[in-house]
Structure 1
Amino acid sequence: MSQEDRQRWNDKYQQATAQREPSAFLRSLEDRLPHAGRALDLAGGAGHDACWLAKRGLDVTLVDISDVALEQAEALARDAGVTLTRLRLDLETEALPPGPFDLVVCLNYLWRPLFAAVPKILSPGGLFVFAQPTRRNLQRHPHPSARFLLEEGELPTLLQGLQSLSSTEDWTDAGRHEARLLAQKLQHVADGVRPQ
Structure 2
Amino acid sequence: MSQEDRQRWNDKHQQASASREASSFLRSLADQLPSTGRALDLAGGAGHDACWLAQRGLDVTLVDLSDVALAQAEGLARDAGVSLTRLRLDLETDAPPPGPFDLVVCLNYLWRPLLAAVPPLLAPGGLFVFAQPTRRNLQRHPHPSARFLLEEGELPTLLQGLQSLSLTEDWTDAGRHEARVVAQKLQQVP
Q: Bin the TM-score by the shorter chain.
A: over 0.9
2:180 equivalent in structure 1:
180
1:153 and 2:141 are equivalent in the alignment? no
Structure 1 Cα separation of the partners of residues 79 and 175 of structure 2? 30
- Deviation readout 1:12-57 (Å, 9 max, x if unpaired): 0111134111000001110000000000000000000000000000
Q: Corresponding residue for 2:66?
A: 66
Which residue matches 1:23? Answer: 23
2:4 maps to which residue? 4
What SS does the aligned partner of 1:51 have?
A: helix
CA-atom RMSD in angstroms: 1.1
- Give the whole-Å Cα distance in 2 for the aligned partners of 1:115 and 1:18: 29
How many residues matched?
190
Question: Identity percentage over the alignment?
Answer: 87
CA distance in 2, matches of 1:59, 1:168: 28
**Mapping of residues 159-174 of structure 1, within 5 Å:** 159-174=159-174
> Alignment partner of 1:114: what SS?
helix
Residue correspondence of structure 1 range 135-150 to structure 2 within 5 A = 135-150=135-150
CA deviation vs aligned residue, 1:136-188 (integer Å, no higher than 9, x gap): 00000000000000000100111111000000000000000000000000002
Q: AA paired with 2:163? A: Q
Question: C-alpha deviations, 1:66-101, integer Å up to 9, x for none?
Answer: 000000000000000000000000000000101000
Aligned to 1:43: 43
Query: Distance in 1 between the 2:121 and 2:21 partners?
Result: 27
Q: Give the gaps of 5 or more residues in structure 2.
A: none
Structure 2 CA distance for aligned equivalents of residues 17 and 102 of structure 1: 30
Find the aligned partners of 2:188 and 2:16 in 1 and give their Cα distance.
44
Give the letter aligned to residue 10 of structure 1.
N
Cα 1:18–1:72 shift into 2, 3 Å: closer
Q: Which residue of 1 aligns with 2:110?
A: 110
- Aligned-partner SS, 1:87: strand
2:131 is equivalent to residue 131 of structure 1: yes
Gaps of 5+ in 1: 190-194
Q: Map of 1:86-97 to 2, 5 A cutoff?
A: 86-97=86-97
How much has 1:115 moved relative to structure 2?
1.6
* Structure-2 separation of matches of 1:146 and 1:61: 29
TM-score normalised according to structure 2 size: 0.98
Determine helix, strand or coil for the equivalent of 1:120: helix
- Structure 2 residue identity aligned to 1:61: T
Give secondary structure in 1 for the equivalent of 2:31.
helix
Report the equivalent of 2:55: 55
Cα deviation digits, residues 87-136 of structure 1 (max 9, x gap): 00000000010100000000000000112100011000000000000000
1:161 counterpart letter in structure 2: G
